[in-house]
Homo-oligomer: A and B are copies of this chain.
């Protein structure tokens, strides 16, 4: 089954567009978790158990594992996701891209070593840098287009000679020549819902990964107004900190579950 098909089924299965970002930071984990072996994995496991009926997707941020010497915890988390909720796809958030022979190593890491269903990538180096990812036809490749951070405008909003901003040019490439295996998605931040609407017009029904709700303050109503497809899906709306750190106490998983449910319901109100 292709990634897009798996995602489409997950939207229906849980009637949800919510993605939970598994971005554990040891310094922020509840004390009750910090004391056990593989605390990052144990934290993720509890979050997954509490949220897996509220989500269409999980998105571990590889930087958290690289920065905390926790590749083992990431591998354990990926294996746990596969056995605990095999119907829920997993996007490894890595934002990789490099020359072809190097991107091949990154694609091996994401899709073989960690077994991700999809991976995020950066478009700056052009298509040949993404080809080793795109060639995994049954996996998803999520290309950065208009990101949710304040500085995104410095490059992504630059006006090209034809009068359009760079991010729209990227959207056209991702929906066109780069999508030769039909396995592309785009990142469009919740903090810029009108730009998200511009992207939707360019890419048709292609799924969009939408970071920036929750801690980054994105506009949920705007995201749904401008981003939904005619089938009332097409969006993977990510929240990380707003869900996984909902409580600093022993009830962290339970609170994460109720925050995920709350976000799912808030989204479904606008669908």
Contact = CB atoms under 8 A, between A and B. Distances in A.
Interface of A: 23, 25, 61, 63-64, 66-69, 71, 93, 95-100, 102-109, 113, 122-129, 144, 147-156, 158-161, 163, 166, 169-170, 173, 211, 216
Contacts of A71: 69, 71
Contact of A173 (B68, B95, B104, B154): B154
Copies of this chain in its oligomeric complex: 2
A109 B160 contact: no
Given A125-B144, A160-B161, A23 B102 contact: yes
Contact of A124 (B109, B155, B169, B211): B155
A96 B260 CA distance: 29
15 contacts: A63-B102, A66-B105, A66-B113, A67-B104, A69-B71, A99-B147, A122-B122, A124-B144, A124-B156, A125-B151, A127-B151, A128-B150, A129-B149, A158-B166, A159-B160
Contact of A149 (B109, B113, B128, B170): B128
A106 to B, nearest CB: 5
Contacts of A103: 63
Contacts of A158: 160-161, 166, 169
B152 A125 contact: yes
Contact of A95 (B98, B163, B216): B98
A23 B152 CA distance: 31
In the complex, the 9 A-B pairs of residues with the closest C-beta atoms, listed nearest first: A126-B151, A67-B105, A128-B151, A126-B154, A63-B105, A159-B161, A67-B108, A124-B124, A66-B109
